[in-house]
Amino acid sequence: MAGSVASGPLFVVVVVFVALWLFSSIKILNEYERAVVFRLGRLLGAAKGPGIALVLFPIDRMVRVSLRTVVHDVPPQDVITRDNVSVKVNAVVYYRVIDPKRAVVEVEQYHYATSQLAQTTLRAVLGQVELDDLLSKRERLNAELQQILDRHTDPWGVKVSMVEVKHVDLPAEMQRAIAKQAEAEREKRAKIIHAEGEFQASAQLARAAEIISANPTTLQLRYLQTLTEIATEKNSTIIFPVPIDIMEALKKKIA
């Protein structure tokens, strides 16, 4: 009788313990999560999830891996360009895990490893280009950075989808030099445009002179038109030129 009484509470304790053990062994994984399970240190098949995963504690160990895209800000890096200009450059890297097993087994911390690789790659690639290319050829440099990072992170099961150079911080003296260069370039274009205008105007004036020389009366009509334009302003003295043909007639009479 005493044995049955003693076994009753023990049975209840065992049942409660087993129930709690089973309850703690059931893991719920979200749609964007996968679980990599190790049993006695050995990897169990493919990654589990989404949904319910059974992890037998304490012989199993589960590592959750998120499949969502990670947006990582690369800290500002000191870069010396190919033409020996020191600049600070920062960037943003978009990556995600495509193989949870490799992301856990092949690298210790794939977030940290990807961050360090992005920093070193940023310095190495941008150090091989000149400052003008760094400022004007961002798309090509972004594509090159993305390809290099994706190639090196592929063994880790990480896919780098995009890299964007965000900001290039130039020294103050270099900013002044670039401003002077831009100002000189604008003055150059202005002088070229002015010279082209003078050339076109001279060509038109030469054609007009040929037309006027064919008919002397045209020159007198031009005088009258000029007089009409000047007459609108009443605050000036107008000197009307004597037609050239009259002077020629006087010369003939004198002769």
Mean pLDDT computed over 127-142: 89
* pLDDT score, position 1: 46
Residue 189 lies inside a defined structural domain of this protein: no
Residues 54 and 89 in one domain: no
Could you give the CA distance from residue 231 to residue 58 in angstroms, rounded to a whole number?
Answer: 108
Residues 109 and 59 in one domain: no
Q: How far is CA 101 from the centre of its chain?
A: 33
- 89 and 169 Cβ atoms separated by less than 8 Å: yes
Whether 140 is in a domain gets the answer: yes
Give the DSSP H/E element, type plus range, for residue 106.
none
* Cβ-count burial 70-88 (b if 16+ within 10 Å, e if not): eeeebebbebebeeebebe
pLDDT of residue 95: 95
| Rounded mean pLDDT, 230-254 | 61
Q: What is the pLDDT of residue 5?
A: 47
Q: Which domain holds residue 37?
A: 14-65
Nearby residues of 72 by Cβ (< 8 Å), 6 or more positions away: 92, 93, 94, 95, 111, 114, 115, 118
What average pLDDT does range 171-183 have in this prediction?
71
pLDDT at 225 (0 to 100): 73
For residues 49 and 90, membership in a common domain is answered with: no
Same domain, 27 and 106: no
Query: 13 is written with which tokens?
Result: 């304790």
Give 77-119 pLDDT, tens digit per residue.
Answer: 988 888 888 889 999 999 999 999 999 999 989 999 999 999 9
Task: Output the 3-class SS for 68-89.
Answer: CCEEEEEEEEEEECCCCCEEEE
| Measured CA distances, 185 to 8, 71, 172, 190, 192 (Å) | 96, 39, 20, 9, 11
Domain assignment present for 182: no
Residue 35 included in any domain: yes
Indicate whether 111 and 136 sit together in one domain.
Answer: yes
Query: Which CATH number characterizes residue 161's domain?
Result: 3.30.479.30
Locus of tokens 């049975």: 11
Within this chain, do residues 31 and 100 fall inside the same structural domain, yes or no? no
Do 139 and 87 share a structural domain? yes
What is the rounded average pLDDT for all residues in the chain?
81
Place of tokens 């302003």: 233
Mean pLDDT of 119-143: 90
Domain count, the chain: 3
Residues 148 and 80 in one domain: yes
Q: Are residues 168 and 75 in the same domain?
A: yes
**Which stretch of 13-17, 50-54, 65-69 has the lowest confidence by average pLDDT?**
13-17
Percent of residues, the chain, with pLDDT higher than 70: 80
pLDDT exceeds 60 at position 51:
yes
Instruction: Please indicate, yes or no, if residue 163 is contained in any of the structural domains.
Output: yes
Whether 116 and 101 map to the same domain: the answer is yes
Its pTM stands at 0.65
With a cut of 50, say whether residue 2 has pLDDT above it: no
- Higher local confidence (pLDDT), 255 or 121: 121
Q: Are 39 and 133 part of one and the same domain?
A: no
pLDDT of residue 228: 72
At residue 191, φ and ψ (nearest 5 deg) are -65, -40
Q: Is residue 97 classed as helix, strand or coil in its secondary structure? A: strand
Local structure of residue 109 (DSSP, 8 states)? -
Indicate whether 74 and 57 sit together in one domain.
no
Q: Which two tokens stand for residue 5?
A: 């009484």
